[in-house]
Amino acid sequence: MTARACAGRIGVMKSLRTGIFYHPSFSRRSYLTVGARLADFPGALSRILERDDVEMFESPPVSRDLILKVHTESLIEGVKRDPLCSTAWHSAGGVVLAGEKVLSGEIRNAFAFIGAGGHHAGRSYFGGYCCFNDVALSIVNMREKFGARRFAILDTDAHHGDGTRDIFQSDPDVLHVCVCGMSYESADGTKVDLPYPSYWEGPETMNERYFSLVREEFPQRAEKFRPDLIFWYFGFDTHAGDYGDIGLTAPCYLNIARLMVELAENLCEGRLIVVLGGGSHTHLATRLIPPIIEILAEGAE
C-alpha cells in the first residue's frame, strides 16, 4: 500500500507541529554514559519549546503485549534483569507514541529521545546498549492501528543495525538502508548496507563525502519504494571524538536532517520520525540535537 493509497486510513493532517518525545529518566540513566550525554536536557530545549509549532510529550512505557509481537518472552526477561535497560520501556514507548501521533495527523514529524537504544535488539536477542527494538515496535503498532504498510529506515549510527535487519530481513515492505561500514544489498533491494567513505586525500571533507553518499543512495531508493513514513535512526557516535568517530561534525548531520525533511515532504506528506541512536558526549548532544529539531519544525511550516 503506497502513501497515496493509504491516505484514507491515515489521519488527515490537522496540525503542522513537530513532536518531541522525552522522559526524565533519559537524562538520569541514559545508556552507556549513565545519564551524562543528556544531562543538559530538557533545559537545552527551552528556547525551542517556546515555538508554537513544537510540543513535547512524555514518553510512556511500551506495553508488554506489543513487545511480544516483536520479541520473545525470554528477551523480555533478560531486559528486566539488565541494569543498562532500566529506561527501555519508556524509550520504546516514546517511539511508538511518536508513530501514532504522526499517523493520526496530530503532528507532522517527530524527534524521539531514548535512554536505551533499539537497533541492536533482534527478535530474540539484545545487546550493545540496546534492549527493545523501538523502530520495529512502532512499525508493528502503526500497521495494526492505522493500516500503514511500507516504511523506510535510514540508519546512520556508527554500527550496523543488526537487530532491525534480523526482524525485517524477510519483510519486503520495510526499506532498511544502513550506513555502517559494510557492503550488502538484498535481491529485492530493500535491505542495503553501505560502506563508509574512505579517508583518501582529496578536495572533499569527510562531511561532504558522507553526506554525498547518503544523498546519492537513500532518496532514490525511497522514491522507488514509496513509503508511508520514514524513520531516520540518528546516531552522533560518528562525530569526531565520540566512540564511533569517523570524522563527522555538525554540518553533516544538519544537512542530512534537511535532506530527510525534504524527502518526507515529497514522498509521504512530511511523515518523518527521527530516533536518537548512539553517541556519548553531553556537549555534542547539546550542540547537535536542538538545531535538528529546529530543522524538523521549520520543515513543517
Domain that holds residue 93: 15-299
Backbone φ and ψ for 154, nearest 5 degrees, come out as -105, 120
The answer as to whether 79 is a domain residue is yes
237 in Cβ contact with 160 (< 8 Å): no
Confirm whether 8 is domain-assigned: no
Q: What is the CATH number of the domain that holds 147?
A: 3.40.800.20
**Opening angle at CA 296, ends 101 and 288, nearest 5:** 120
Instruction: Tell me if 3 is assigned to some domain.
Output: no
Sign (positive/negative) of CA torsion 82, 87, 89, 94?
Answer: negative
> What gap in Å lies between CA 109 and CA 229, rounded to an integer?
10
Helices (H), 147-191: 162-168
Grid cell 520479541 is found at 71
- d(Cα 273, Cα 99) in Å, to the nearest integer? 7
Residue 231 lies in a domain: yes
Residue 38 maps to a domain? yes
How many separate domains does the chain show? Answer: 1
With respect to residue 4, please indicate whether it lies within any of the assigned structural domains: no
Is residue 6, in this structure, part of any structural domain at all?
no
Tens-level pLDDT at each residue, the chain (301 residues):
333 334 434 444 445 699 999 999 999 765 554 457 999 999 999 999 999 999 999 999 999 999 999 999 999 999 999 988 999 999 999 999 999 999 999 999 999 999 999 999 999 999 989 999 999 999 999 999 999 999 999 999 999 999 999 999 999 999 999 999 899 999 999 999 999 987 665 657 999 999 999 999 999 999 999 999 999 999 999 999 999 999 999 999 999 999 999 999 999 999 999 999 999 999 999 999 999 999 999 985 5
CA 243 to chain CA centroid, Å, is 19
User: Quick one: pLDDT at residue 57?
Assistant: 98
Query: Does the residue 92 lie in any domain?
Result: yes
Could you give the CA distance from residue 197 to residue 235 in angstroms, rounded to a whole number? 17
Residue 279 one-letter amino acid = G
Q: The C-alpha cell of 143 is what?
A: 500497521
